[in-house]
Structure 1
Amino acid sequence: MKRLLLTLALACTALLPAQADQALATAKSCMACHTIDSKRVGPAFKEVANKYRGDKGAVDRLALKIRQGGVGAWGPVAMPANAQVNEADAKKLAAWVLSLK
């Protein structure tokens, strides 16, 4: 019984970072242009994760793009710079996006 409770507790805590990072994405206005599963203005976060899967430098590059913006990686629509996101939050957001499957 203790083992089952421990397993359940660990499973629940594994879900918390994903929820917290989606909350961060919402708070930082990322969800205005992106969704997790489908294209909105920008690509779906899962599509971004698939494109960069296995790329060891992706977290840093995506964090920079979150903060500075960019154009061309997903077509002609520019991603505006997001000045309200600090470097630590940008890396947290990038890691969360890349963790999606």
Structure 2
Amino acid sequence: MKLSALALCIPLLALGQAAHAAPDFAQVKEILAKNACLACHAVDKKVVGPAYQDVAAKHKGQANAAELMTASIKGGSSGKYGPIPMPPNVGVSDADIKVVVEWLVAGAPH
């Protein structure tokens, strides 16, 4: 490979890594707070619903993890983490759900 072609690839690799970085936790926390998610969930402990880190661990390595989590957030779910169902969250914007799901896929770091 020519050196000039290699030099052109380096910025693309850097962009690719940035695309897989977890969203900033401050941004995620703001989304969780404004949508009342923190009434039932916490990052590292079970409240009414599972800890976000437990959700992340359950879906770790699944190719369709983002799809599954998005569907559960939007449509609600039951039986995945115990007897208490999660109601649908129709008021949460698709953009906010995307940020939260990206954070979950990254392992729910804080």
Q: By how many angstroms is 1:87 displaced?
A: 2.0
Contact 2:22 2:103 in 1 (8 A): no
Secondary structure of the corresponding residue to residue 79 of structure 1: coil
Provide the residue aligned with 1:69 in structure 2.
76
- Of 42, 52, 58, 2:65 maps to 58
Q: By how many angstroms is 1:47 displaced?
A: 0.7
Q: Which runs of 5+ in 1 are unaligned?
A: 1-13
CA deviation string 1:16-70 (max 9, x = no partner): 7221011111111111100001000000001111111111211111111111101
- Of 45, 60, 72, 2:52 maps to 45
Residues 1-101 of structure 1 aligned to structure 2 (within 5 Å): 17-99=24-106, 100-101=108-109
**What TM-score, normalized by structure 1, do the two folds share?**
0.78
For this pair of structures, how many residues does the alignment match?
Answer: 88
Contact 1:21 1:92 in 2 (8 A): yes
Report the AA paired with residue 90 of structure 1. I
Q: Which runs of 5+ in 2 are unaligned?
A: 1-20
Contact 1:67 1:86 in 2 (8 A): no
Identity %: 33
Rounded Cα–Cα distance in structure 1 between residues aligned with 2:53 and 2:33:
16
Question: What is the CA RMSD across the aligned residues, in angstroms?
Answer: 1.8
- Counting strand residues as a fraction of each chain, which structure ranks higher? 1
Larger radius of gyration, structure 1 or 2?
A: 2
Q: By how many angstroms is 1:97 displaced?
A: 2.1
- Counting helix residues as a fraction of each chain, which structure ranks higher? 1
Runs of at least 4 residues of structure 1 off by over 6 A? none
